[in-house]
Amino acid sequence: MLLRYVIRNLARHPLRATLTVLTMSIIILAFGLLRTTVAAWYAESLGTPPDRLRTRHAVSISFQLPVTYQQRIAIIPGVSGVSYANWFGGRWKDGKAFFPRYAVEPDSYLELHPEIQLPPPQREAFLRDRRACIVGRKLAAKLGWRVGDIVRLQGSLYPGNWEFTIRGIYTGTSQTTDEGSMYLHWVAMDERRRIEDQARAGTVGWFVVRMANPEQAAQISTTIDQTFANSIAETRTETEQAFRANMATMSGAVIRVIEIMSVLILGISLLVVANAMAMTVRERHHEYGILKTLGFRAPHLGFLIFGESVCLALFGGILGVVLLYPASKGFGMFLTSNLGGFFATFTLPAQLPVLAVSLSVGIGLLGAIIPFLLCLRSRIRDELRHMG
């Protein structure tokens, strides 16, 4: 019967209860979207195969390495393949549609990245044509590109006007594979550099190294870096997972802020529930006094107060989680189409609904603590003050 009492209490102030539930649901929705954003930020690094290393300049990724390192890396024991890539930069049209552009050695790059899937004829066409490029499925869909279209870029890192023919539209093998990038021939870029920017000709941004045995990652990384120690361009080698995670962390101040915000809004939700419960307990202090005279003690009063608080928070949490599914879909579409370079995928983490509901229960419990203590501390005599 006490449970019935709790449920009926919830309906005593329909407006307040509704507003509290809605506030809670919006907070849980916001929390869920923020956590999904953080998860999406790191998703690509988690989905990276463990058998790949990245070798970059020891000082910074913005420094270039000689392309000739490729042969020396390839002969290191345990290395089963090497490719290289470079940021291309550039701007498409007015620059509002941002998407990552990489200049790669296509044959080896595609071989080392089996997650990039191209139909064989498109792959052949791309490999044959130095002025060709391939684009991800999501990018092509967003910009309305089809195979055979010409993409005109205005150079930024490498000045001038550039034209590439789309020879293929790739898809990813998993949800975490980036389908929002463009790949072009490194050699096409380098040919022009040899004429216009000789200082940077023959250099690459990083090498992608495939290992025969991922367990040798530490040893192979050390050997690569030792090979180029004391050279003009020393290297730093790490697993691709670590590389991507570092990149995410380096540019992750915003993500850190998002993480902090997600915790802060939970604090706000706690205050909302605590405030609602404090009002409730204050209004019913006389009623709690009656219950005390009937012999009700802390566990019974606790059941009533915590029960109501948890129900409010839980209903809000469940509603928030229900809203989270369509909202994350819409938000994800927006992010991946506008910030595809940062968010290859935007999927609700599997454990998030459970986490959100658990947090709602926790918030309900925490929010009721102070009102409950106030109720306990209050004396029957004061609660029944109007007697006599």
Partner 1 sequence: MTSSIIDVQKVSHSYFRDDIEIPVLKQLTLSIAPESFVALLGPSGSGKTTILNLLAGFDRPMHGRVSINETNVSRLPERQLARWRAKTIGFIFQFYNLIPVLTAAENVELPLLLTSLSRAQRVKHVATALRLVGLGDRMTHYPRQLSGGQEQRVAIARAIVMDPVILLADEPTGNLDSEAAEEIMTLLQRLNTEQGKTIVLVTHDLEAAQRATTICKLQKGRLE
- Interface residue list for partner 1 (CB under 8 A): 1-2, 4-5, 8-9, 11-12, 286-287, 290-297, 300, 379-381, 384, 386-388
**Separation of CA 100 from chain center:** 17
How far is residue 98's CA from residue 72's CA, in Å, rounded to a whole number? 35
Q: Report which DSSP code applies to 264.
A: H
CB of 360 to partner 1, least distance (A): 24
* CB of residue 8 to partner 1, shortest distance in Å: 4
Ordered DSSP codes for 331-368: HHHHHHHHSTTT-S-----TTHHHHHHHHHHHHHHHHH
Q: Which is nearer to partner 1, 217 or 291 (CB)?
A: 291
State the minimum distance, in angstroms, from the CB of residue 290 to partner 1.
5
CA–CA gap between residue 46 and residue 42 (Å, rounded): 6
Distance CA 281, CA 290 (A): 13
Shortest CA distance to 11 belongs to which of 313, 370, 364, 312?
A: 312
Cα 318 from Cα 299, distance rounded (Å): 26
* Nearest CB to partner 1, comparing residues 147 and 380: 380
Residue (93 or 379) nearer to partner 1, CB: 379
Nearer to partner 1, 5 or 102 (CB): 5
Q: Which residues of 97-113 are buried (b: 16+ CB within 10 A; e: fewer)?
A: eebbbbbbbbebbbebb
Strand partners, 150: 165
Are residues 372 and 74 in contact, defined by beta-carbon separation less than 8 angstroms?
Answer: no
Minimum CB separation of residue 10 from partner 1 in Å reads: 10
Q: Name the phi and psi angles at 50, rounded to 5.
A: -80, -5
Q: Given the complex with partner 1, which of 7 and 261 has the nearer CB atom? A: 7
Residue 124 or residue 382: which is nearer to partner 1 going by CB?
382
Please give the C-alpha separations between residue 237 and each of 52, 56, 57, in angstroms, as whole numbers: 10, 6, 9
Smallest distance from partner 1 to CB 354, Å: 32
Question: Which is nearer to partner 1, 194 or 379 (by Cβ)?
Answer: 379
| Cβ 386 to partner 1 shortest distance, Å | 7
18 or 80, CB closer to partner 1?
Answer: 18
- Element at 71 (helix H, strand E): helix 69-74
Cβ proximity of 291 and 301 under 8 Å: yes
- Residue 77 or 388 having the CB closest to partner 1: 388
CB-CB contact of 90 with 186 (8 Å)? no
Cα(109)–Cα(187) distance, integer angstroms: 13
Question: Residue 235: what are its φ and ψ, rounded to 5°?
Answer: -115, 160
Spatial contact of 311 and 10, defined as CB atoms under 8 Å apart: yes
